[in-house]
Structure 1
Amino acid sequence: MIDPHELWLVIIALGVGSFALRFMFLGLVGRRELPEWALRHLRYTAVSVLPALVAPLVVWPSATGGQTDPARLAAASVALCVGLFTGRVFAAILSGFATLYAMLWLVG
């Protein structure tokens, strides 16, 4: 068990760090115009975060004990292809969902 003083120290340090990060953008830069290169890079932030969140769930799923399985790989592949060809997020999500459950039903 962690010492309560160390725990609170870590919680406070993370809170201060999180506040400092937000303050840099909102407090210091909030009323200024950002350069074009910064706006261009910030536009892709959400697009880069989603794959970083999904990839571990596909490659090392906790439902299978960390072993890659064909059902999740197939669902991710179908969702990726549908998303690329149609450009519709909900179509990609629904196709991946349907593929995952169909493959889990087929494979067992």
Structure 2
Amino acid sequence: MIGAGEFWSLTLALGLGTFLIRFSFLGLLGGRQLPGWLLLHLKYVGVAVFPALIVPAVLWPAATGGETEAPRVIAALLAVAVGLRFGPVGAITAGLAALYTAQALL
């Protein structure tokens, strides 16, 4: 365990760090027009981050001790297929419905 002073120092340092990261985009660049090449690259950030968050939970879920389960894979594949047609909200909805249905049936 760490002491109370160390805990609050670390909490304040992390809070300041996250504030500075956000301020660098919102405060410094918020009122300016960004160049076209940067806007083009920022458009793909969500496409890169979403799979990076989901794939470990599908292939190596902590809830099962790292063993891949068929319901998770089925739900992920269905979510990808629906997402290609209906976008992120459709993918999330279909993935959740498929996961709970597959877990109940299998």
Q: 2:7 maps to what in 1?
A: 7
Aligned to 1:56: 56
Task: Deviation per CA, 1:23-53: give whole Å up to 9, x if none.
Answer: 2122222222211111112222223222222
Q: Match of 1:81, as an amino acid?
A: A
TM-score normalised by length of structure 2: 0.81
Compared CA separation, residues 28 and 92, structure 1 to 2 (3 A): closer
1-structure distance, mates of 2:23, 2:101: 47
Partners of 2:70 and 2:53 in 1: how far apart? Answer: 19
% identical aligned pairs? 49
Asked if 1:98 is matched to 2:92, the reply is no
CA distance in 1, matches of 2:24, 2:100: 44
For residues 46 and 99 of structure 1, the distance between their equivalents in structure 2, rounded to whole angstroms, comes to 23
Report the AA paired with residue 59 of structure 1.
L
The secondary structure found in structure 1 opposite 2:34 is coil
RMSD (CA atoms):
1.9
Post-superposition shift, 1:79? 1.0
Equivalent residue, structure 2, for 1:68: 68
Q: In the comparison of the two structures, how many residue pairs are matched?
A: 106
Secondary structure of 1:25's aligned partner: helix
Q: Which runs of 5+ in 2 are unaligned?
A: none
* Structure 1: unaligned runs, 5 residues or longer: none
In 2, the alpha carbon distance for the partners of 1:10 and 1:94 equals 38
1:96 CA drift (Å): 2.0
Q: TM-score, normalised by structure 1?
A: 0.80
